[in-house]
Amino acid sequence: MFVSYLTQSLAVVFSPLGIGCLFLSVLVGLIFGMLPGLTATMGVALLTGLTYSFEGPYAILVLLGIYIGAISGGNQSAILLNIPGTPASASTALEGHPLALKGEGGLAIFVATSSSFYGTLISICCVVLFTPLLTSLALKFNSQEMFLLAVFGVVICGNLTSGGDPIKGWISGFFGLLIALVGRDTMDSFARFTFGQINLTSGISLLPVMIGLFGFPEVINAFNSAKHKPKPITKYKIKDGNNILKRNWFNILRSGILGMSMGAIPGVGEDTGGWVSYWAEKKKSKTPELWGKGCYDGICSSECGNNAAIGGAIIPVLSLAVPGSAPAAVLLAAFWMHGYRPGPLLMTETPEFLYYVVVFMIFASFVMLLLANIISKYTVKILQVDDRILMPIVFILCVIGAFVVNNRLFDIKMMIVFGVIGVGMAYIRIPSAPMLLGVILGNMADENLRRSLILHDGSWGSFFTRPISIIFIIFILVLILGQNKTFIRILNSIFKKKKSA
Amino acid sequence: MDDEEIKDVVGEEKQRPIGHLDFITAIILFVMSVATIITSIGYWREQKIDFYASAGFLPIIIAGVLLVLSVILFFNSLKESSLKQRNIEIKDAFIRTIKSKNFHRAIIGLLICIIYVYFLLGKYLFWFATFVGLAALLIFNCREYKLKNIIKAIIIAALGDVLIIVIFQYVFNVPMP
């Protein structure tokens, strides 16, 4: 049976139509990922309609190709323009763009793409080996854990991006959580902070916030550049890239597992996968002073983590029909449309489906590695274009990106508003990334906190009786108190006393 | 605030003292947090349900955290300077900003973007609005306003406009504003 299904899957991939579908879908995915505003979710959703007349296996091949290409493609605009193509690449921009400014954009893209590739492969291995185990673990995440995970995400992101002043990082993150709460709440549909604006009742979309915070400051900055200073592009040797990857083998492995685990938790997704992996590596780094100024280790962890979340997000889709992320939710709908019913009965009803997914993902990630590196040879030349010409065009792309989510002019106006906020935040050195993560996680935090309290009649006790919840609380406290000098002094004195005793 | 300082919008120079800006940020954040808490309490009263189940519950917690953080930021900003000194710094920085050429350029550029988004998009055809907006931004970005540069900017705007429409509207079938 195993051999038969495997042969069937390989026959699809190696048929002329399969090869064409694979290359084209990954290419379209990469372009979607690169363009700010066009996300993996949108790519999968748009292509779902186009694949309607395709045979099931080919449609799955196209959709998985788009998904993998789009999540990986986001790193190129993040590195070259400091504008993450997808929210999942926000952490890559922190390390990648400084490298591009130093002339190492090509090498940074190579490292990012290869890390994405390894991340996807690690997550595929986990899909095959640990689907039942990870599903049961992910299901242990109740409302309490989901709320604490959101707080944990904001706190670590605040710590990581603050440049030595975590207060500002946390302000940014909690402000993001507050922004996410604008509009009708998910439990009672009660309109919050809408100030009578009908457009605000549906909330503030993520993409206008992201494009505004990251893209707009770059556009405004171009108005001030007196002379065109072409950024240097130095040719890189693949050997150098491989050496960086070899040095980071453990980082890649850990980021892959972390990213995949984050992806497997329903509703968390690639963005958190990238940030948690980035945090884990930064914590362990022997050269923390290099972080934020262009550190390859950060790119490896971030890109490996966000792409590994793809496999993670597919695990609950396959075993429970519960999507782990937004693109995975669209993917699930597409699977249903093509007659596949993922869930507990998958292996009895359509056993070949799991093999299709695994084989297609493996080949899609190989094609992604190949195409992304070929494309980067051309995209890297964007650094030579005069900012004063490039940035007005980027601004129009930002406008389109903000519009296409809901087809509302209001979103473009919000993009401008958040752009101005982004410029102001950059000026007073408050990092934008925690705010973006706050906007991503805000509704999850609200819904889960209230649900857990309602279920326990307003008691907070359940937060302190569940093991995973306690672990999160300890982590959050350590992260916050770890910034306090008095706390560190007390800890040091305790440990010293123990040692001397 | 001189021209070099404005460049810092993207964080090119890290040595600029920003204590006075932290001071203002802390005050704004404090006021905003208090306003959020009051508004959120209003939601709870309006809903007439348990406090922890109301739509205002998490906003109150978040605003409470922001309130504490704003107080910390406020006292941190006063560590290196007195309240009186901060007031003088804010006044000086404001005057320097207003006089800065780069600040003027940023404001004019921002105004062009706002005119494009608020007054052209949705009121005129996308290709026309975008051509006008793009051309205005490119011409504004020419450092020397010679006829040759202006024509070059208009040609780039037209080509960019066509390319964007072809790629998004026809290739990706994405609806345009």
> How does pLDDT run across B115-170, given as a tens digit for each residue?
999 999 988 999 999 999 999 999 988 766 678 888 988 999 999 999 888 887 88
- Residue B37 vs residues A26, A215, B34, B64: alpha-carbon distances, Å: 47, 31, 5, 7
Closest-CA distance of chain A to residue B143, Å: 7
Distance between CA atoms of residues A476 and A501, nearest Å = 30
State whether the Cα torsion A135-A137-A143-A147 is positive or negative. negative
Q: What is the DSSP string of A235-266?
A: ---HHHHHHHHHHTHHHHHHHHHHHHHHHHST
Check whether residue A432 and residue A483 sit in a common domain: no
**What is the C-alpha separation between A159 and A155, in angstroms, rounded?**
6
The continuous run of DSSP H or E covering B132 comes out as: helix B126-141
pLDDT at A212: 86
Contact A53, A8 (CB under 8 A): no
Whether A276 contacts A302, CB under 8 Å: no
Is the reported ipTM for this assembly greater than 0.90? no
More confident residue, A426 or B13: A426
CB contact under 8 A, B62 and A224: no
User: What are the residue ranges in chain A where pLDDT is below 50?
Assistant: none
A79 and A103 inside one domain: yes
Q: Could you count the other beta carbons within 10 Å of the beta carbon of residue A55? A: 12
Sequence letter at residue A248: N
Q: Of B122, B141, B176, which is closest to A222 when you measure between CB atoms?
A: B141
Q: What is the pLDDT of residue A231?
A: 67
Residues A289 and A300 in one domain: yes
Please enumerate in sequence order all residues whose Cβ is within 8 A of that of A310, keeping only pairs 6 or more positions apart, or say none: A67, A68, A71, A119, A120, A123, A263, A270, A328, A361
Q: How many distinct structural domains can be found in chain A?
A: 2
Q: Choose, out of B69, B74, B77, the residue to mutate when testing the contact with A (most A CBs < 10 Å).
A: B69
Q: Are residues A319 and A420 in the same domain?
A: yes
> Reduced to 3 states, what is the DSSP secondary structure of residue A192?
strand
Beta-carbon separation of A413 and B118 below 8 A: yes
Residues of B in contact with A223 (CB under 8 A): 105-106, 108-109, 140-141
Q: What is the DSSP string of A56-91?
A: HHHHHHHHHHHHHHHHHHHHHHHHHHS--SSGGGHH
Same domain, residue pair A459 and A491: no
Structural domain containing residue A386: 2-465
Question: Which of A224, A429, A445 has the CB atom closest to B105's CB atom?
Answer: A224
Asked if A220 contacts B106 with a C-beta cutoff of 8 angstroms, the reply is yes
Torsion of CA A332, A333, A336, A338, to 10 degrees: -100
Asked if A192 lies within 8 A of B172 by C-beta distance, the reply is no
Q: Are A85 and A376 contacting, i.e. CB atoms less than 8 angstroms apart? A: no
Distance between CA atoms of A430 and A426, rounded to whole angstroms?
Answer: 6
CA A454 vs. chain centroid, Å, equals 31
The two tokens of residue A123 are 């997550």
Structure tokens at A178: 């507050």
Query: Minimal Cα distance from A32: which residue of B?
Result: B172
Per-residue pLDDT band at B16 (split at 50, 70, 90): low
The number of C-alpha atoms within 13 Å of A276 and in the hemisphere containing its C-beta is 28
My answer on whether A403 and A488 are in the same domain is no
Higher-confidence residue of B155 and B5: namely B155
Residue A192, chain B, CB below 8 Å: the answer is yes
How is residue B72 annotated by DSSP? H
Alpha-carbon distances of A290 from A298, A345, B42, B89, rounded to whole Å: 10, 50, 47, 33
Give the domain ranges of chain B: 6-99, 101-171
Of A178, A223, A428, the CB nearest to B18: A428
Nearest to A188 among B3, B55, B177 (CB): B55
User: Alpha-carbon distance A401 to A414, whole Å?
Assistant: 12
**Bridge partners, residue A292, by sequence:** none
CA dist B8 to A416, A421, A429, B98, B141, Å? 20, 15, 9, 16, 19
DSSP state of A191: E
Question: Do A223 and B76 count as a contact with CB atoms less than 8 A apart?
Answer: no
CB contacts, 8 Å: A171 with chain B: 25, 29, 66, 69-70, 73
Query: Is the same domain home to A414 and A442?
Result: yes
Nearest CA to A225 among A370, A400, A68, A391?
A391
What residues have CB less than 8 Å from A383, skipping those under 6 apart?
A80, A100, A105, A230, A231, A232, A233
Q: Residue A47's closest chain B neighbor by CA?
A: B172
- Distances, alpha carbon B165 to alpha carbons A8, A319, A397, A400, B144, in Å: 41, 42, 11, 10, 29
Q: Verify whether the Cβ–Cβ distance B53 to A453 is below 8 Å.
A: yes
Q: Residue B39: its chain A contacts at CB < 8 A?
A: 193
Cβ <8 Å between B143 and A226: yes
Answer whether B138 sits within 8 Å of A389, measured CB to CB.
Answer: yes
Nearest to B11 among A175, A426, A445 (CB): A426
- Integer-rounded Cα radius of gyration of chain A: 22
**Do A278 and A197 lie in a common domain?**
yes
Q: Chain B neighbours among A 395-434 (CB < 8 Å)?
A: 395-397, 399-400, 403-404, 407, 409, 412-413, 416, 419-420, 423, 426-430
Do residue A458 and residue A476 come from a single domain? no
Best B126, B168, B169, B173 residue to mutate vs chain A (most A CBs within 10 Å):
B168
Give B58's contacts in chain A (Cβ within 8 Å): 177, 181, 445-446, 449-450
Interface list for A 210-229 with B (CB within 8 A)? 217-224, 226-227
> Is there a single domain that holds both residue A378 and residue A391?
yes
The pLDDT of residue A53: 75
CB contact under 8 A, B105 and A181: no
> Which chain B residue has its CA at the smallest distance from A390's CA?
B138
Q: Which residue has the tokens 């185990």?
A: A133
Q: First and final CA of chain B: distance in angstroms?
A: 38
Written as one string, the DSSP assignment of A199-242 is GGGG---HHHHHIIIIIHHHHHHHHH--S--PPP-----HHHHH
Pairwise CB contact (< 8 Å): B142 & A224: no
Cα B148 to chain centroid, rounded: 33
> In the predicted model, is pLDDT for residue B13 greater than 50?
no
**Would you say the pTM of this structure is higher than 0.90?**
no
